[in-house]
């Protein structure tokens, strides 16, 4: 149901949902568009190309809260691949910077959401400032 809401309707939904009552930051990841739309206090601030899962279903969909941030993370699953500005939102899945910037805008990952490192830094630092508990990651197909 949530995948069909507009961002403004999503913010209205958040006001009614006790588990997600506050979301200063909304990172809406639209897998079909291969874009991350960033909202701060209900206002759209940025829209960036991403690379999500190479195959349908590889990137989890739903509504999440970040649970762990790591500025200089390296993958424990993929031979120490760099994952700068990692924002982990469920299990081993994160939004993070990538060196494969030419692939942004197209599916390319094993499930994580890749961003240009400069954009990943903006998101990471915004979440550090506003708090993980004030952030929602909403992923739709």
How does pLDDT run across 26-77, given as a tens digit for each residue?
999 999 999 999 999 999 999 999 999 999 999 999 999 999 999 987 777 7
| Sequence spans of domains, the chain | 2-140
Higher pLDDT: 21 or 121? It is 121
CB 65 within 8 A of CB 89: yes
Q: What number of other Cβ atoms are within 10 A of residue 70's Cβ?
A: 15
Q: What number of other Cβ atoms are within 10 A of residue 85's Cβ?
A: 25
Strands 82-90 and 93-97: antiparallel
CB 110 within 8 A of CB 121: no
DSSP-based three-state secondary structure for 69: strand
Longest dimension (CA), the chain: 43
Here the tokens at position 138 are 């909403």
To the nearest whole percent, how much of the chain has pLDDT over 70? 83
pLDDT score for 16 = 52
Please state the φ and ψ torsions of residue 84, each to the nearest 5 degrees: -65, 145
pTM reported for the whole predicted model: 0.83
Q: Which CATH superfamily is domain 2-140 in?
A: L,D-transpeptidase catalytic domain-like (2.40.440.10)
- What's the whole-number mean pLDDT along residues 122-138? 97
């Amino acid at each position: 149901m949530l995948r069909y809401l507009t961002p403004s309707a999503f913010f209205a939904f958040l006001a009614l949902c006790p588990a997600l009552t506050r979301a200063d930051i909304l990172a809406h990841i639209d897998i079909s568009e291969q874009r991350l739309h960033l909202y701060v206090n209900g206002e759209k601030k940025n829209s960036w190309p991403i690379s999500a899962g190479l195959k349908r279903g590889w990137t989890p969909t739903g509504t999440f809260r970040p649970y762990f941030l790591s500025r200089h993370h390296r993958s424990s699953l993929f031979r120490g691949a760099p994952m700068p500005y990692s924002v982990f939102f469920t299990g081993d899945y994160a939004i993070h910077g990538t060196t494969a910037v030419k692939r942004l805008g197209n599916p390319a990952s094993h499930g994580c959401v890749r961003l240009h490192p400069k954009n990943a830094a903006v998101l990471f630092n915004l979440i550090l400032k506003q708090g993980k508990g004030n952030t929602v990651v909403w992923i739709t197909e």
